[in-house]
């Protein structure tokens, strides 16, 4: 059966299709509008959620209080103002601190304020003690550790600054710059009195190859110096990369033309350089200490200098500061500075920013990197167990997603190659 073709009907059909398409388009537009409305609603919800989140952070700000007990760079303080209440009190006494510390979640100090066991035990909610610098001699780390309080510092902030000061003292000694300056200012012109020595070709002995020691070695190479290093923790690979020779302490003392110290003051480094060490040294040696007072026995140093047993010394640190009654003040062949090796604008700025950012990390629930009362790995052990860190982190993320309820305790069993590493205690600290 044939069906006749009616052009009008055909046209009418096309129009109907167009109308249907238009209706569909209208429906689609309506759907799109609905979707847009939904999206807008979602966006509004997200904005509300974001606002709620912001309100939570803003609300939390007043719940955290940080006491800045010593003056630090303003840029560091600016880092904290957005999440915590910052209370600067640069003149607070230990007696006042003992009373006030119970109100604070964190305290920032430099060198003036002493955070003693008594102060730590008087704190109710203290979580962080931050030292805007490197050394923590003024903090009772053991007492803080016993109470689960993090002790944070900024070891990388002063490396270049202290290394430059070290080189400055070495140059001042080798060219008698301080003595010559004083002579000219007194109206003298004694060129023959201030004959110096070159650093080129001389042997530099570095005790302690941490961040500062590394920086000193780098700069000494520009003067053409050879380098001996004493550091129980440096690896052969690191020594090769740095172009230094690792030796024992006695060899370094006997063979160095210039010695510089970059180790912390600990029971094992107290009076590390004393009478017996001075007796081993070359007669023309210079010794520099920009680390900590008490590493060199100052009475023995005075005897070695006054008897011309060694050529000269440069000290930025002293066992008692200031060294008001020190016999070293009487000598010409010693250059003394008032513990200023770390005192540059750049170092103080960086130290403040670093410790304040570390505090922010803790309050935001992330891990700081400069916590000194946590296990510290030497480079060789670190390279051995580093691959396991990534694995453990992934396992932890998996466990936390599958666990039901709160995790109160975790038992870890390790075996195989991991159980054979030389320093087993690092796995159980």
Q: Which token pair is 290?
A: 């920009």
At residue 199, what are phi and psi to the nearest 5 degrees? -90, -25
Residue 313 neighbours by CB under 8 Å, 6+ apart: 173, 286, 287, 288, 289, 296, 301, 305, 328, 333, 334, 335
Cβ contact 313:333 at 8 Å: yes
Is 292 a residue of the active site? yes
Three-state SS for 423?
Answer: coil
Determine the longest span between alpha carbons in the chain, in angstroms: 133
What distance in Å separates the CA atoms of residue 282 and residue 257, rounded to the nearest whole number?
7
State how far Cα 419 lies from the chain centre.
31
Q: Which token pair is 367?
A: 């891990």
Is 165 a residue of the active site? no
Residue 176 neighbours by CB under 8 Å, 6+ apart: 194, 195, 196
**Given 279, 321, 346, 393, the catalytic residue:** 321
Is 79 a residue of the active site? no
Cβ–Cβ contacts within 10 Å for residue 185, how many?
8
In the DSSP assignment, the letter for residue 135 is -
Strand pairing report for 226-230 and 286-289: unpaired
Length in residues, the chain: 429
DSSP string computed for 61-127: HTT-EEEE-S---HHHHHHHTTTSEEEE-TT--HHHHHHHGGG-SEEEE-SS--B-HHHHHT-SS--
Check the CA dihedral 280-282-284-289 and report its sign: negative
**Given 127, 175, 339, 349, the catalytic residue:** 339
Cβ contact 102:135 at 8 Å: no
**Given 165, 211, 292, 311, the catalytic residue:** 292
Point out the residues that are catalytic.
292, 321, 339
């Amino acid at each position: 059966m044939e069906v006749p073709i009616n052009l009008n009907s055909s046209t009418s059909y096309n129009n109907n299709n167009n109308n249907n398409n238009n209706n569909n388009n209208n429906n689609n537009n309506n759907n799109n509008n609905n979707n847009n409305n939904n999206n807008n609603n979602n966006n509004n919800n997200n904005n509300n959620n974001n606002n709620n989140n912001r309100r939570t952070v803003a609300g939390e700000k007043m719940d955290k209080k940080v006491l800045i007990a010593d003056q630090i760079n303003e840029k560091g303080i600016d880092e904290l103002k957005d999440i915590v209440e910052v209370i600067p009190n640069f003149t607070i006494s230990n007696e006042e601190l003992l009373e006030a510390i119970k109100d604070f979640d964190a305290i920032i100090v430099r060198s003036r304020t002493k955070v003693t066991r008594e102060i730590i035990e008087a704190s109710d909610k203290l979580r962080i003690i931050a030292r805007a610098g490197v050394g923590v001699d003024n903090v009772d780390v053991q007492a803080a550790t016993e109470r689960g309080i993090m002790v944070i510092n900024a070891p990388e902030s002063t490396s270049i600054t202290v290394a430059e000061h070290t080189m400055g003292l070495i140059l001042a000694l080798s060219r008698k710059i301080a003595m010559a300056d004083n002579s000219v200012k007194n109206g003298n012109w004694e060129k023959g009195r201030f004959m110096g020595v070159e650093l080129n070709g001389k042997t530099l002995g570095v005790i302690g190859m941490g961040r500062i020691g590394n920086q000193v070695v780098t700069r000494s190479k520009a003067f053409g110096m050879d380098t001996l290093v004493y550091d129980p923790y440096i690896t052969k690979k690191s020594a090769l990369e740095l172009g230094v020779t690792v030796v024992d302490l006695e060899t370094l003392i006997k063979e160095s033309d210039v010695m510089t110290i970059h180790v912390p003051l600990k029971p094992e480094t107290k009076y590390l350089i004393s009478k017996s060490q001075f007796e081993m040294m070359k007669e023309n040696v210079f010794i520099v200490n920009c680390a900590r007072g008490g590493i060199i026995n100052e009475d023995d140093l005075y005897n070695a200098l006054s008897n011309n047993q060694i050529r000269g010394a440069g000290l930025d640190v002293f066992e008692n500061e200031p060294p008001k009654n020190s016999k070293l003040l009487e000598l010409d062949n010693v250059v003394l500075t008032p513990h200023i090796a770390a005192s540059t604008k750049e170092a103080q700025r960086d130290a403040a920013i670093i410790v304040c950012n570390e505090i922010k990390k803790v309050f935001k629930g992330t891990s700081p990197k400069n916590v000194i009362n946590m296990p510290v790995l030497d480079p060789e052990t670190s390279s051995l167990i580093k691959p396991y860190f990534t694995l453990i982190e992934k396992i932890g993320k998996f466990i936390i997603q599958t666990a039901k309820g709160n995790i109160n305790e975790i038992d870890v069993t390790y075996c195989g190659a991991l159980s054979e590493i030389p320093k087993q205690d690092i796995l159980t600290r």
